[in-house]
Structure 1
């Protein structure tokens, strides 16, 4: 028995070594691709002057779709922020998804809403829509409110909003998100300038938990105060700048964040819209849109903009964090299972041969491999002489590699966007990166594994379980 286990350990050590080497090489490729994408983005900023876009009537119309479920606390100020976006041709479609608080009442009172006759073309099936509301005040003529029965998911609410929208492009975001006033013009630019058919664009997202916010607008960007938001700030900088820019450069982007994404409505409808029962509706949608274009054999692109255009609240306690990441874990394994036929399928081009396998090997399997590594390590302590030198060297290489990636991401982010107020905040972020592998990463891994388990055992809570806190500014005078 000991001999068989010893042979397994030798095989496992070789497997881990090859796996980690492949992982490192992949990230080096992503790093180079990310750098080239950032350079290209900087040059493209001058393709079409911003002032020209804001004054032109020839720009494509954009609908901003915002699902709202029990958002009475934030909806008035945040909606005013959406209505203040700078773009010549847009509307804001708010979907009241069966809220059981005063969300609809506040909308009616603060925006002078009246129920109107509305031709509702239900291209994507949703829970029944009770009515549509428009404002009698011309100041709010860009606003449309959709009132519907609760569909149990953000996907259902978003689909109802897109069904009700009038423009060929739409942005999907969240009511707690705060967008830069030029967000639409930045996201729409690839649709206007690229030769290929652009079906979606995304952009950087940052954390608003400690920001100074007034009437739905960020007055001052502040570094997160709590531990979990700080770790997530670090994670967002690395993943959005280092990862998604690289995939965008290769035209292999598989994920446009649910917090901020712009989509071509025609491709959205043809792909079937958001999947109502998905726990990762944003991930699932992009895969289905890519599959659609590959099957039609039509050239297309999905682009990512390196500039942060959206600020959103993130979980600031262990319980909320576990809820969110477990949901992400369920969504990851669910989506990969649904679309497993494209795995290494040449019919789906770079999606099937590179992007999807990457998510299988380096997103889905890594938490499982890490758990197996811990189990095997404990067993070797009991039954065998442990090759501690090999294990320590391997851990050191992985640790240093992540430190290099994180440090480069932080420095690039600060050099280009200057989101932090002083050197102290940057040093805090670097310090967090040093303790991230031993404190934050194990919790995150456990949450994803829990999500896998919940999916396999079919224990799936509904959308809306995670409660938000109000922004700091709303409590200054209380």
Structure 2
């Protein structure tokens, strides 16, 4: 009996040590990333305060871009979104909308609204894709930049590969068609490709913001509002943390593994040499960035991946838990698949910072975090039930984690207020501040549950994206 009690005590002590160690490690990493992000953000804002983007707009040296926008059942928003893409402040670009076998009226809307007709188009099929039904261009000169491809359904990655095959320009900008871009988005996104000295910029990405309850007019965002619903409102905070206090730091370290699939630019040549988008993963955006970086490292080619902290892209966030769960479980499956495909990079000094820091960080704090948190909570409750752990300790630990989470959200909100200040209304600021206190007890458990569903789906062999129903943007005529 004494031996049995000794074993339980040893396990209990080890468990406490591991849980506290993990909590301290993850919180410390967040604070370090926040510190690095703050320094890099200040540096960026100071450097770019003197930039006249009109010079780039009129420059003959401005990089030529091809915007690729996959569309599947986007009838609610596709008219406004394509209008937004065609009205950007940039000269050297084309818009390629790839209709990925939509079952709704997306194609009919595009044909009618933009006066499209079938055309002969030379397609260089460097990447194998699903069958293309037809390529359309407009008879209206106002839409001369627009190319619409109608193809059999093959998923987002397959649609993006079609865009890569058709794109005529050296740089491609991959964007979700449900997004609204700021008018200067392409100017800011193209700038890093002009600033590369010695190292080839193979990819660059910008900040994505939540557009729920924002007002859209003629494809432009004319009024920014904080979402009324608590679920999308908290996602505003989540995106602020991820982009302002996370990716800014990874950009400074040149260790970014992910450029948001909602809006990112790539060197087309390197993307094609790396094999294009992987159609067998639902995390195609992250996987392509990792594979492009791996290609450059394995071929000993100097390169970099840049990050733009400006709010360039606005997207619709899920407003109900069913859609949210599908999105987040898919994100987890994509993370698992990418880390599995590139597992040889883990703690491999051959891949430098990526192998020694970036990949281990994602494995420990993105892939494993939900499982560790759930398991830790479950064991803690068991210890309390069997009297091995006093509930006072549990309450203190929970309060500590809660206030740290609130503090981190407030830090992100403060960074937003001191930099881009996209939410000038006092009532909006107060709504977001209230959301920071609600998030740990409402949103975070939902996110952890959705991630656990992602584990289950991966084990069960679930494929595909699932239906992502959208409500559409609020329009102002």
Aligned alpha-carbon RMSD (Å): 1.6
**1:364 — aligned with what?**
367
What residue number does 1:102 align with? 105
Which one of the candidate residues 211, 215, 227 is aligned to 1:212?
215
Partner residue, 2:129:
126
Query: Does the 8 Å contact 2:226/2:431 carry over to 1?
Result: no
SS where residue 298 of structure 1 aligns? coil
CA distance in 1, matches of 2:63, 2:435: 43
Greater CA drift, 159-168 or 67-76: 67-76
Aligned equivalent of 1:149, options 148, 152, 160: 152
Q: Deviations over 1:391-421 (max 9, x none)?
A: 3443333223222222121011012111113
Listed as ranges, the gaps of 5+ residues in structure 1 are none
Q: Distance in 1 between matches of 2:142 and 2:295?
A: 40
- Match among 272, 275, 278 for residue 275 of structure 2: 272
Q: Which whole-Å deviations, capped at 9, do the CAs of 1:284-340 have from their partners, x for residues lacking one?
A: 111111111110112211111111111100100111111111111111112111211
For residues 305 and 123 of structure 2, what CA distance do their matches in structure 1 show? 29
Match of 2:182 in 1: 180
Per-residue deviation, residues 225-278 of structure 1 (Å, max 9, x unmatched): 111101101100111100000000000011110111011101111111111121
My pick for the range that moved more, 89-98 or 46-55, is: 46-55
Instruction: Say yes or no: does 1:350 pair with 2:353.
Output: yes
Query: Where does structure 2 lack aligned partners over 5 or more consecutive residues?
Result: none
Match of 1:336 among 322, 335, 339: 339
Which residue of structure 2 lines up, in the alignment, with residue 473 of structure 1? Answer: 475
The answer as to whether partners of 2:68 and 2:96 remain within 8 angstroms in 1 is yes
Verify: 1:161 aligned to 2:166, yes or no. no
The yes-or-no answer on 1:170 pairing with 2:177 is no
**Structure-2 separation of matches of 1:46 and 1:208:** 26
Structure 2 counterpart of 1:376, from 352, 356, 379: 379
1:405 equivalent in structure 2? 408
Which of 412-421 and 2-11 deviates more?
2-11
TM-score (norm 1): 0.95
Is contact 1:65-1:95 (8 Å) kept? Answer: yes
Q: Which runs of 4+ in 1 moved over 6 A?
A: none
Does residue 4 in structure 1 map to residue 7 in structure 2?
Answer: yes
Aligned length: 473
Residues 345 and 353, structure 1, Cα contact 8 Å, conserved in 2: yes
Report whether the alignment pairs 1:193 with 2:195: yes
For 2:76 and 2:369, how far apart are their aligned partners in 1?
39
The alignment status of 1:261 with 2:249, answered yes or no, reads no
**More displaced stretch, 393-402 vs 376-385:** 393-402
Partners of 1:257 and 1:230 lie apart in 2 by 20
Q: Is the 8 A contact 2:318 2:324 kept in 1?
A: yes
- Give the aligned partner of residue 91 of structure 1: 94
Q: For residues 375 and 73 of structure 1, do their structure 2 counterparts lie closer, same or farther at Cα, with a shift above 3 Å needed?
A: closer
| Residues 458/320 of structure 1: CA separation in 2 closer, same or farther (3 Å cut) | same
Q: Which deviates more, 293-302 or 380-389?
A: 380-389
Measured in 1, the distance between the counterparts of 2:28 and 2:140 equals 58
Aligned to 1:18: 21
Q: Once structures 1 and 2 are overlaid, which stretch shifts more, 227-236 or 391-400?
A: 391-400
Q: Please point out which of 447, 451, 455 is paired with 2:458.
A: 455
- CA 28–71 in structure 1, closer or farther in 2 if over 3 Å, else same: closer
With 344-353 and 383-392 compared, the bigger mean Cα shift is at: 383-392
- Who is 1:203 aligned against? 206
| Equivalent residue, structure 1, for 2:294 | 291
Verify the 8 A CA contact 1:128 1:149 in the aligned structure 2.
yes
The DSSP-based 3-state class of the residue aligned with 1:405 is: helix
